[in-house]
Structure 1
Amino acid sequence: MQSSRHWGLVVSLAGCFTGPVVAGSAGFAGIVASADSAETANGNPAGMSRLAEPTTSLSLMMARGFGEFEVDEGKTTTGGGNPDDDSSPVFLPQAYHVRPLNEDVHVGLSLTVPTGFGSEYGSDWAGRYYTDSYSLVYVALTPAISWRINEQWSIGAAVGINYIASESEVAINTLVPGAADGRMKAELDGVGTNFTLSLLWEMTDKTRFGLSYTSESKTDIDGDLKFRNTGPVIGGLLERGILSDEIEVEQVQPQRIIGGLYHELEAGDFIVADIGWVEFSRFGANSISLDGQDLNVEEGGFNNFWAGALGYGFPEHNGLRYTLDAFYVQAPVDDDKRTLALALDRIWGFGAGVQVDHGKGQLVEFNVHLVDFGKGPVDTGTSAVRGRVVGETDNPYALIISGAYHF
């Protein structure tokens, strides 16, 4: 599902920046200072102090990518051509709940997918010896607490319990002339933790600032390597125990810090903005392949990056409120270090949304975003066994439709 992988890149970088993607008062903007729904339990736990009643938010995002990876056959040395294409949409649900214990102390719970990567190219394309398919998914259960210090200041904290699952499959060059490719599949998982500390400064009734820091999470994920049709060379290494069928790698979800502003104008419209930094150079994504007789675990080579979002909300009229927003994420990797499994590039996008107030604290929200996730050019370099693969993504766009029910 080549097109579907591209929404995953969007979610991944946005997720590293914001945590859950659907969390602002104006689409992707307003993450840490809006504090007007249960989503603040994850975006900025300190913001829970603004919610006077028990509040729940349920959200669902649907994303469909239109990009296709195009192999440069003039520079690529392995036959097979372009990868398969599947334009199936992908769905991402999330849930949040906040409950006041008293006027000053609130607790919350979030069930989210803060980060997820995915690529699926098929088994016969030119880069099959580097990756056929790769997925890395985080599922986080996050309890949180906030304390209102006074009318202006609140602080919050949360602990993320992160389940990580990684699965990858790759073709094996059996090193036997004329023989069919072998296969190697890796299935790994593990559980890690991190923490969030945050604050909210309500400078006036109409202006507030938020700040949220989330620590990195280190997790040892382990599992099995499953081989098929290995050929005499790789099969012999397995039989003698030189090549193991078990593996353990360290997976790092990087630390991040996000600051934000919410300001309401006299007419009732509002402006929100966020800026964040992610220590993505610590990110420990791994794709696993065989380079001849050597097990190759691709990791590192990433850069720290900045991201920002800006949103505007129109005054509420007849129970309707409209929003516009835009965001930008720096490329987290240089062109010469980009891999086929994680062909990450810079991202920018813009969107519009509507919120419908049904009364009694019930709100329904819809947002639509058009995203450009970059061409992500890749050059694997030369390998005597795996060959060289060069290419980039054509039509690097994605459509993201999200909705939330607040009650």
Structure 2
Amino acid sequence: MTRRVVKTCLSLALASAASHGFASGFAINEQSVSNMGTAFAGRSSSADDASTVFGNPAGMARIKREQVSGGIALIHAKTDIDNASGSNDGDMVPFIGAPMGYYVKPLDDNWSFGLGLYVPFGLVTDYERNFQGRYHGDRSEVRVITLQPTLSYRFNEHLSIGFGPTINRIDGELTSAINNPIPGAGDGKVEIKGDDTALGYNLGVLFEITPQTRFGLTYHSKVDYRLKGDTTVSGPGFVIGSSAGTYDASLELTTPESVDFSVTHELNADWTLYAGSTWTRWSRLEEIRADNKGVGGLLAGNLSSISEPQNWHDTWAHAVGAAYKLNRQWTLRAGLAVDQSPTNNTDRSPRIPTGDRTILSLGTAWSPNDDVTIDLAYSYLMEDDAHIERDDYSATYKNTAHGLGAQVTYRF
């Protein structure tokens, strides 16, 4: 048993799962279906509904009626794996959903209160049983659910600010195959589970130059987690070697801060234009380290403290979009986004086989009356080829994904 195999199995527990979300790394973008229709261009400046609690909390100042918004985004991903031998079907991302819900209430002419519940990071990878790269990653699942109470204050007709602490719950699960010390006994299995709750914050500024043009700037803070759970090693060879069993495990992980800047311009009564850029500090993910207590037997030296370099880099995402008001009830949207991958060719693994992305989005909003709006959106993602080069596994991944979102806003 080599240290390389075991360390690869364990150390990527929570940086692993979201290679097919609609944002880079293991972030996802789907916190608002109304923003999804423009490829999230104008996310920090549009403030069209209660989902601005996430997009820019200062945008609550533009909401004049108490309202709730809720919805879900569904993602279906497909991966083709080329230039590899063995079993490499690549259909490792199940059909998944990301729910969201928001509430905004104006308190007076200056103050507004909001509450948001959304998923900022997550997704799943789950390879087939005989996947050739199973020693580098088999099944990975990570979820972050965030609750954000928020206040905004409007200084005057031009300037508003907003702030909300975030309460973030993370849990993850990882399984990987490892070589069995008994020849012919089949693979062993390593499984890690862990969770934690940590605090962060969301801060935003909205500047309305004119009634038709506004700029938004939103800062989402980093969140430091120390996940605690257990590591389980199983397989007949590991029982004999006395390394099988369940051990206390801990893993430190920081989800990165990001800055979103965007502009919204109402060209006329029918057309609205959007543009925006998001910077994410993925360079915080230099390595993942897992610590396990009480490990004995043949693998004690390999399992006690494990780390693997990631060496991710900071990324930029850029988007442009437009909305056309067809009539009093219907609005049509479209958008285009490009998003850098934080990974590099040296350290990229089957758990995060992602490349730079291009995303095309279409959307619509139907308002049968002044109290209700139903938003629908569709996105198509295509990635540049992602190459993986490991000692015992190499392949080229070609990733695509379809996203479909629905959201309902009700005004009291």
**Is TM > 0.5 for Structure 1 vs Structure 2?**
yes
> How far apart are residue 246 of structure 1 and its match?
1.6
CA contact (8 A) 1:366 1:403 kept: yes
**TM-score calculated relative to the size of structure 1:** 0.87
> How far apart are residue 11 of structure 1 and its match?
3.5
Q: Aligned letter for 1:164?
A: I
> How far apart are residue 29 of structure 1 and its match?
2.0
Match of 2:376 among 357, 360, 366: 366
With over 3 angstroms needed to count, the CA separation of the structure-2 counterparts of 1:121 and 1:179, relative to structure 1, is same
Tell which deviates more after alignment, 298-307 or 258-267. 298-307
**TM-score calculated relative to the size of structure 2:** 0.86
Match of 2:394 among 379, 386, 390: 390
Secondary structure, aligned partner of 1:231: helix
The match for 1:313 is 323
Q: What are the residue-to-residue correspondences of 1:189-208 with 2, within 5 Å?
A: 189-208=195-214
CA contact (8 A) 1:120 1:132 kept: yes
Stretches of structure 1 that go unaligned for 5 or more consecutive residues are: 74-79, 383-387
Deviations 1:61-92 (A, max 9, x none): 1111122334523xxxxxx4314636752222
Q: Distance in 1 between matches of 2:402 and 2:355?
A: 17
Find out whether 1:341 has 2:351 as its counterpart: yes
Q: Distance in 2 between matches of 1:278 and 1:389?
A: 30
Q: Distance in 2 between matches of 1:211 and 1:154?
A: 11
Stretches of structure 2 that go unaligned for 5 or more consecutive residues are: 1-15, 293-297
The match for 2:91 is 85
Q: Aligned letter for 1:167?
A: E
Deviations 1:144-172 (A, max 9, x none): 11000111100010111111111000112
Q: What are the residue-to-residue correspondences of 1:54-65 with 2, within 5 Å?
A: 54-65=66-77
With over 3 angstroms needed to count, the CA separation of the structure-2 counterparts of 1:144 and 1:273, relative to structure 1, is same
Q: What are the residue-to-residue correspondences of 1:74-113 with 2, within 5 Å?
A: 80-83=86-89, 85=91, 88-113=94-119
The match for 2:51 is 39
The match for 1:294 is 302
With over 3 angstroms needed to count, the CA separation of the structure-2 counterparts of 1:19 and 1:346, relative to structure 1, is same
Match of 1:131 among 137, 140, 145: 137
Find out whether 1:174 has 2:180 as its counterpart: yes
Displaced runs of 4 or more, over 6 A: 287-292
Find out whether 1:10 has 2:21 as its counterpart: yes
Deviations 1:83-132 (A, max 9, x none): 46367522221111111111110111111011114211133221121211
> How far apart are residue 238 of structure 1 and its match?
5.7
Deviations 1:215-271 (A, max 9, x none): 1100100111112115158833468xxxx8121111111011111100001242110
Deviations 1:196-225 (A, max 9, x none): 211000111100000011111001001111
What is the aligned-residue RMSD (CA, Å)? 2.7
Find out whether 1:276 has 2:278 as its counterpart: yes
Match of 1:404 among 393, 404, 407: 407
The match for 1:76 is none
Q: Distance in 2 between matches of 1:231 and 1:12?
A: 41
> How far apart are residue 8 of structure 1 and its match?
5.2
Q: Distance in 2 between matches of 1:7 and 1:131?
A: 13
Find out whether 1:253 has 2:262 as its counterpart: no
> How far apart are residue 30 of structure 1 and its match?
1.9
> How far apart are residue 373 of structure 1 and its match?
2.8
Q: Percent of counterpart pairs with the same letter? A: 25
Q: Distance in 2 between matches of 1:356 and 1:15?
A: 32
CA contact (8 A) 1:184 1:289 kept: no
Q: Distance in 1 between matches of 2:270 and 2:54?
A: 26
Find out whether 1:28 has 2:40 as its counterpart: yes
Tell which deviates more after alignment, 350-359 or 60-69. 60-69
Match of 2:127 among 118, 121, 125: 121
The match for 1:212 is 218
Secondary structure, aligned partner of 1:245: strand
Match of 1:164 among 141, 163, 170: 170
